[in-house]
Amino acid sequence: MKRIDYLANPTRFMRLAAVLTPWMGWATVLLAAVGLYLAFFVAPPDYQQGESVRIMYVHVPTSWMALFCYVSMAVAAATGLIWKHPVADLVAKCTAPVGAAFCFLALLTGSLWGKPMWGTYWVWDARLTSMLILLFLYLGYIALVNAFDDPARGAKASSILVLVGVVNVPIIKFSVDWWNTLHQPASVIKMGGPSIHPTMLWPLLLMALAFTTYYVWVLMVRVRGEIIANKIRVLRLKQVHG
Amino acid sequence: MKRKHKRLSFVLVALVLLAGAVGLMLVAFEEKIVFFYGPSDVLEKAPPADKRLRVGGLVEKGSIEKTAGSTVVAFRITDINATVPVTYDGILPDLFREGQGVVTEGYYRNGVFEADEVLAKHDENYMPPEVADALKKSGQWQHMKDQLEESGQIEKKKK
């Protein structure tokens, strides 16, 4: 708990964010440049999918990030709810639009891949449906957290929503194992090691890393912005009352 | 107990109860969540002719019969244990071929599945073509049935 307590202080968080932001920004640019180059020019076409396999290098990392962001949001929401750490609520609030964007991209790229490969843009199988529910959870959270005049009340109500929605995360992950689905099972994170050739796995992991540093980067920028906005609000109130 | 400990245990208990409730719901709705049935299920349950359903499995080797001058095609879907003949009139997806996983949608009438939609199912193996060829040549290509079970194209042993 020491660590989180340390960051719960907005001033300390600001200091850490100021250091991390440029590093994460440059890491994102570098990793994405190398990752995209490998994905588009170096990685081989697939024996079945041909060139369409390259959609995977965006689809799979964005899907992972959609889940990762949601879990981060849930942890932050729980920390805000239980330990009343002010920065935790901000982290949850600032993660939501990033996660929603990842989730939307995962659905979009999956749909574009589905048309040539499966023969359809969309089916209501367990994986696709649970992923769509994740997008709705994100959108519901964003609507709810902004629906209150008092940010503290908004944070409380929306944190509960995030925690309720967290049951969807294992359902998404294991949907392809629990039920017959059109979506294929996991290729990378599964028992018995990845069933994806190393020449394709490495670009994929690089892209995943790039999206992760992108998330941290944007999160730092957004949370700093929120903290500064809060300070301005407090100053304005003081002016009015003084 | 301090207030934050109270809140922590409340959140944990609520999450466990919620997970339990959702778990029960998913088990209850299993039949509805399943995207397609295997040939064994179809033969076993003999669904009524007016019930729309999906049947999935592998396209049996040597079973594809195309009708010249039209888009009518007949083939058989297999899960090794059982086989269902399928007829379809329409454009097939690129991945459609012998030994490929497919999901078809339509009606089961008089022992023939009349499909009006055919979707190709992709598996979780990603590799360059040269590697696939090399694997096939050296005889290390995964046994068809393992591959099927692995990718969920044939029903995993129930319960």
At residue A241 the predicted structure's pLDDT band, cuts being 50, 70 and 90, is: confident
Interface probe, candidates B13, B116, B122, chain A, greatest A C-beta count within 10 A: B122
Q: Is residue A225 part of a domain?
A: yes
Residue A67 lies in a domain: yes
pLDDT confidence of residue B157: 41
Predicted model pTM: 0.87
Dihedral sign (CA B82, B32, B121, B55): positive
How many contacts does A have with B, using Cβ atoms within 8 A?
122
For chain A positions 90-149, those within 8 Å of chain B (CB to CB) are 116-120, 123-126
Q: Is A51 on the interface with B (CB under 8 A)?
A: no
> From the CA of A213, how many Å to the nearest CA of chain B?
26
Does residue A56 sit at the B interface (CB-CB below 8 Å)?
Answer: yes
Residue B128 has its nearest CB partner, among A181, A185, A197, at A197
Structural domain span for residue A75: 53-241
Both tokens assigned to A189: 């994170």
Residues of B in contact with A46 (CB under 8 A): 126-129
Residue B47: pLDDT band by 50, 70, 90 thresholds? confident
**In angstroms, what separates the C-alpha of B86 from chain A's closest C-alpha?**
18
pLDDT at A3: 60
Mutate to test the interface with B, among A81, A118, A171 (most CBs of B within 10 A): A118
- Nearest chain B residue to A163, by CA: B15
Residue A4 is predicted with a pLDDT of: 61
C-alpha–C-alpha distance, residues A198 and A27, integer Å: 23
Give the pLDDT band of residue B139 (cuts 50, 70, 90). Answer: low
Strand partners for B65: B74
Residue A9 lies in a domain: no
- The neighbour count for residue A161, using CB atoms within 10 Å, is 16
Chain B residues touching residue A185 (CB < 8 angstroms): 124, 150-152
Name the minimum distance, in Å, from the CA of A181 to any CA of chain B.
Answer: 5
Q: At B35, is the pLDDT very low, low, confident or very high (cuts 50, 70, 90)? A: confident
Cβ-based neighbours of B55, under 8 Å, separated by 6 or more: B36, B37, B38, B39, B42, B77, B84, B86, B103, B104, B108, B113, B115
Q: What integer pLDDT is reported at residue B71 of this predicted model?
A: 84
- Shortest distance, CA B79 to any CA of chain A (angstroms): 13
Residue A148 has pLDDT above 80, yes or no: yes
pLDDT > 80? residue B44: yes
pLDDT of B155 higher than 80: no
Q: pLDDT tens digits, residue range A71-99?
A: 999 999 999 999 888 899 999 999 999 99
Question: Which of A87-120 are b and which e, b meaning 16 or more Cβ less than 10 Å from the residue's Cβ?
Answer: bbbbbbbbbbbbbbbbbebbbebbeebbebbbbb
Q: Does A225 touch chain B (CB under 8 A)?
A: no
Kindly list the residues from chain A whose CB atom is less than 8 angstroms away from the CB atom of residue B36: 180, 182
Closest C-alpha among A166, A149, A200, A174 to residue A46: A200
pLDDT of residue B156: 47
A137 part of a folded domain? yes
The predicted-structure confidence for A6-65, as pLDDT tens digits, reads as follows 677 888 888 989 999 999 999 999 999 999 999 999 988 888 888 888 999 999 999 999
Bridge-based pairing of strands B72-78 and B65-66 is antiparallel
Model pLDDT, residue A31: 96
Nearest-neighbour CA in chain B from A57: distance (Å): 12
- Inter-chain residue contact B124 with A126, CB threshold 8 Å: no
**ipTM rounded to 2 decimals:** 0.76
pLDDT for residue A88: 93
Residue corresponding to tokens 């080797």: B61
| Structural domains for chain B | 34-150 (2.40.50.140)
Q: What's residue A8's pLDDT?
A: 73
Give the pLDDT band (50/70/90) at residue A214: very high
Q: How many domains does chain A have?
A: 1
pLDDT tens figures, B78-134: 888 888 999 999 888 878 888 888 999 999 988 899 999 899 888 778 887 777 777
Instruction: State pLDDT tens for residues A155-185.
Output: 999 999 999 999 999 999 999 888 888 898 8
SS3 B132: helix
pLDDT band at A152 (very low <50, low <70, confident <90, very high): confident
Q: Which pLDDT value is given to residue A39?
A: 92
